[in-house]
Amino acid sequence: MSLPALQEEKTAIIKQEKVITPFQQKLRLFLQNKLAIAGSVLVLFFVFIAIAAPLIASQGIDEQELSKRLLPPSSEHWFGTDDFGRDIFSRVLFGARISLWVGFFSVLGSALIGTLLGILAGYYGRVIDSIISRLFDIMLAFPSILLAIAIVAILGPSLQNALIAIAVINIPNFGRLIRAKVLSVKEEEYIMAAKALGTSDTRILLVHVLPNSLSPIIVQASLAIATAIIEAAALGFLGLGAQAPNPEWGKMLADSKQYLVQAPWTLFFPGLAIMLTVLGFNLMGDGLRDALDPKGKH
């Protein structure tokens, strides 16, 4: 091959390499992970049924027909009926709305507050770091579910208060993660250069520190949603979360536990929905972690 041809081929290869952005590289790594794709499909499936629940549900969530109580799965009632004769399939569909709503918004709240506290602690250090870190240590000293129960007991049993409790108990997880990331980022040369140029701390935090600390936040958020759904179901099971007649999955399990032998389908389908949703977020979170932090892949 002639020298001009070799140079043209080299130039074409360089151009092709330049086209691949860091985002595209991470996306490619994620798409190569079959388990992550499976998890994403599960998550998208439950998001879809949560949005389309009114169109898919065969009956209303509160339509009672005592003559049809505890019927097994059939062509009329795909998941059977509960002890009030309500269609379990419809209630599971609408339950996806509640569980995903609690999961997304509780994690959003804990991520925002935890990230803010973590950035302040990691960037300024000293007294601020000591106060915030000790606060995180105190919160982490309590088992998370017990702390959530205590918060709901103070605020009163309700779905909104359960959301607040779940958001509060997850704040330290985000805060400590971001604090550790900021401690390493703030020592980078571009941060030192920005300080030397007289850039304000607010601009440094928003323009330089936060964007370079987003990867662990995204990964932690995807995994935290799975945990939040389990915690919401646990609070609902204990009667501290969603209240009747809301079709929350944990509440459905609590209402049906006495029919475990007589009508196991009343527990099986809500439990299966919880398991598949949590599995989907966990698999997707693992895939995001491997794509955003390939060096940390085991």
Q: Does residue 3 lie in a domain region?
A: no
Overall average pLDDT of the 166-175 stretch: 94
Structural domain containing residue 103: 23-61+78-296
The predicted structure's pLDDT at residue 135: 92
Whether 148 maps to a domain, the answer reads yes
Mean pLDDT of 60-68: 81
Q: Would you state the pLDDT for residue 292?
A: 79
pLDDT exceeds cutoff 60 at 295: no
Pick the closest to residue 30 from 14, 16, 41 (CA basis). 41
Residue 146 has pLDDT above 80, yes or no: yes
What local confidence, expressed as pLDDT, does residue 19 receive? Answer: 57
Q: Does the pLDDT of residue 22 top 80, yes or no?
A: no
Q: Concatenated DSSP letters for 190-238? A: HHHHHHHTT--HHHIIIIIITGGGHHHHHHHHHHHHHHHHHHHHHHHHT
Residue 118 lies in a domain: yes
The confidence band for 7, taking pLDDT boundaries of 50, 70 and 90, is low
Q: What pLDDT shows up at residue 41?
A: 95
In a domain, 167, yes or no: yes
Given a cut of 60, whether residue 80 has pLDDT beyond it is: yes
As a whole-number percent, the residues of the chain with pLDDT over 90 amount to 42
pLDDT higher than threshold 70 for residue 149: yes
Confidence of residue 8 (pLDDT cuts 50, 70, 90): low
Across all residues in the chain, what is the average pLDDT?
Answer: 86
pLDDT higher at 45 or 123: 45
Position 87 in a domain: yes
Answer yes or no: is 112 within a domain. Answer: yes
Q: Is the pLDDT of residue 159 over 60?
A: yes
> What's the CA dihedral at 175, 176, 182, 183 to 10 degrees?
150
Write down the residue that tokens 């609590």 correspond to: 254
Residue 119: name the closest of 110, 135, 106, 132 by CA: 132
Both tokens of residue 282?
């966990």
pLDDT attached to residue 275 = 94
Query: What mean pLDDT do residues 14-31 have?
Result: 68
**Better pLDDT: 7 or 296:** 7
C-alpha distances out from residue 88 to 159, 229, 277, Å: 20, 19, 17
Query: Confidence class of residue 10 from pLDDT cuts 50, 70 and 90?
Result: low
Tokens encoding 252: 């459905």
- Reported confidence tier of residue 206, pLDDT bands at 50, 70, 90: confident
Q: Does some domain include residue 219?
A: yes
CATH label of the domain that carries residue 84: 1.10.3720.10
Q: Residue 154: pLDDT above 60?
A: yes
Q: Is residue 5, in this structure, part of any structural domain at all?
A: no
87 three-class SS: strand
pLDDT above 80: residue 92? yes
Q: What is the pLDDT of residue 197?
A: 79
pLDDT value of position 12: 56
Q: pLDDT value at position 239? A: 87
Look at the chain and report how many structural domains it folds into: 1
Q: Is residue 38 over pLDDT 90?
A: yes
Question: Is the pLDDT score of 2 beyond 60?
Answer: no
